[in-house]
Each structure stands twice: as C-alpha cells, then as structure tokens.
Amino acid sequence: MATITTTDGTRIFYKDWGTKDAQPIVFSHGWPLSADAWDAQMVFFASKGFRVIAHDRRSHGRSDQVWDNNTMDQYADDLAELIEALDLRGAILVGHSTGGGEVTRYVGRHGTARIAKVALIGAVPPLMLKTEANPGGLPIDVFDGIRKGTYDNRSQFFKDLVVPFYGYNRPGKVLSDGIRDSFWLQGMMGGLKGQLDSIRAFSESDFNADLRKFDKPTLVLHGDDDQIVPIDASAHSTVKIVKHAVLKVYEGADHGLTQTHQDRFNADLLDFIKG
C-alpha cells in the first residue's frame, strides 16, 4: 500500500494511477467514504492520459485512525503534504461533498501555486450549518441526528443513509444493492471517532474566507435534488463568492451523482479540464 506519513505521524493511504509525468488530477472523497468512491473516475481519466490520485482521509478507509486532529484544517494540511510529497504541479483538484470542503480549505490555507483548476461536486461550502448569518443552512438538529445514528448503530445508519444519498426514495428510482454494499463497506472501514469528528468538520466549518481566495478556473457542479447538501445553501451561494466559477446543475440529480450520473459527470469534468 502506498502511504505518506504526515508531520504529526499519521499515515495517509493513497492511490496513484496512470502516467506519472502527465497532468495530475487529485480526488477528495465525501463522508464517510474512501478513495474507492472515485475508482470509476480514476480509471476513466487515467485512460485519457492523466495521472490520477486519490487518498483516504485520516480516520477513513486505510489511513490511520487517529483520536485527535480530525478537523477541516488538518484535512487540508494532509492534502497539502500529499501534493508536496508527490511534487504535483498544475494539478486539478476535485472534491465531492466533504472533499469539496477539504479542497476549499486547502486553497484557503495553502494557495493555488500548485494547482490549475478546481472542481467542487455536491460540495459543502460555504457553510452547511444554519446560523444568524447563514439562515439558509440546515439546523444543528440535522447534524446531531447524523451523530446519533452514526454512534448508536453506524452499520445500519450507513445502509439507511444510502437511500437519500443516491435519491432512491424518489419515484421511479431502484435501489442498487451493489452501491449500497460499497457505501457500507467504505464507511465501516473508517474509525468511529474520526467519523464523528468529521461530522462537525463538514457541517460547522465556514469556508467563506477560503472561497474568496480562489483565483483559478472553478467548476461548481451540483444536483438540484441533493437531499444531503441542499443546492441553495451550497452551490448557489458558492458561485456568488467565486465570481468566475462555472455552475452546472443536474436537474433531478442526487448527492451521489458521480455514480448515478457517472458517464455524464465524467464527460463534463473532462470538458472542464480541457476547456
């Protein structure tokens, strides 16, 4: 297994496929998943001549399960250490959901010297939590419910979460046992403490200041039937801050659109990268 060891001694697992001297695409996964969530995209883009990299966030997947430092700042710093360890330049950063927050905080903390473009997919910025300054966010009770479900019986909670995550509760949609099994397996590979901490990281982190530092071409792609990260409080707000961002909305699409709309998503991301 390929890993790096961060400055605080945490081993981060990563995949590195394709042509090593090609332009790199770095994928950051959502909660509670792992790099495996990007396998189809990695095969697709590697076959198009890119170098593709995806890591397991600390306390997720095959990376070390740590008690402390499961924070958005640390996630961004881990991403920075991976990019620097592999000496990536001109990279395309692609983040889904919590991974979109990780990528955004990376830009806020580490700048854009090593990156060429950014794609935020169903991403949590600028802020998921409802506050006086962010009335369009979700109430804290929503995230407390996620915490309780994860703590009480995360195995069952992950199986149940698949339904709204992929929009299987919508008319005409048929639940995929394969997607549910993969989601459950990836979730159960992670550590409970880190996953609980990550709920706070993705829900309460304010990315407004980070988004204002974006100075590279940016794609904001979101499903307008996303039941996990509602589009009005996320993508629509993000493009008001990142003025040069391109917004692409998938009508009727769910939170897991990288899988449920896989071919369309891969083609749109390729067009953005080549454009």
Cα separation, 128 vs 133, in Å, equals: 12
The token pair at 28 is 């950051």
Q: Is residue 255 annotated as a catalytic residue, yes or no?
A: yes
The token pair at 251 is 């009508």
* 86, 16 contact by CB (below 8 A): yes
Other beta carbons less than 10 A from residue 251's beta carbon: 7
Of 110, 190, 120, 112, the residue nearest 155 (C-alpha): 190
Q: What are the Cα distances from residue 186, in Å, to 36, 109, 119, 165, 190? A: 8, 28, 23, 14, 7
Q: What pLDDT score was predicted for residue 43? A: 98
Instruction: Give burial (CB, 10 Å; 0-12/13-18/19+) of 46.
Output: middle
The token pair at 144 is 């407390």
Q: Is residue 97 annotated as a catalytic residue, yes or no?
A: yes
- Mean pLDDT, residues 172-176 taken together: 97
Other beta carbons less than 10 A from residue 201's beta carbon: 22
**Residues with Cβ within 8 Å of residue 36, at least 6 apart in sequence:** 61, 182, 186
Q: What are the Cα distances from residue 189, in Å, to 10, 64, 79, 181? A: 16, 11, 20, 12
The token pair at 54 is 């995806």
Which of 55, 60, 110, 255 is catalytic? The answer is: 255
Q: Is residue 222 annotated as a catalytic residue, yes or no?
A: no
**For residue 273, what pLDDT band results from cuts at 50, 70 and 90?**
very high
- Per-residue pLDDT tens over the stretch 205-234: 999 999 999 999 999 999 999 999 999 999
Cα separation, 75 vs 268, in Å, equals: 27
* 126, 133 contact by CB (below 8 A): no
**What residue numbers bound the domain in which 51 lies?**
3-274
Cα separation, 77 vs 4, in Å, equals: 13
Q: Is the pLDDT of residue 146 over 90?
A: yes
* 246, 219 contact by CB (below 8 A): yes
- Per-residue pLDDT tens over the stretch 39-71: 999 999 999 999 999 999 999 999 999 999 999
- Mean pLDDT, residues 10-16 taken together: 98
Which of 28, 63, 97, 182 is catalytic? The answer is: 97
Q: Which CATH number characterizes residue 270's domain?
A: 3.40.50.1820
**For residue 172, what pLDDT band results from cuts at 50, 70 and 90?**
very high
Structural domains in the chain (count):
1
Q: What pLDDT score was predicted for residue 259? A: 98
pTM: 0.98
> Pairing relation of β-strands 11-18 and 3-5?
antiparallel
Q: What pLDDT score was predicted for residue 179? A: 98
Q: Is the pLDDT of residue 24 over 90?
A: yes
Q: Is the pLDDT of residue 100 over 90?
A: yes
Q: Is the pLDDT of residue 243 over 90?
A: no
Cα separation, 65 vs 59, in Å, equals: 4
Which of 16, 77, 197, 226 is catalytic? The answer is: 226
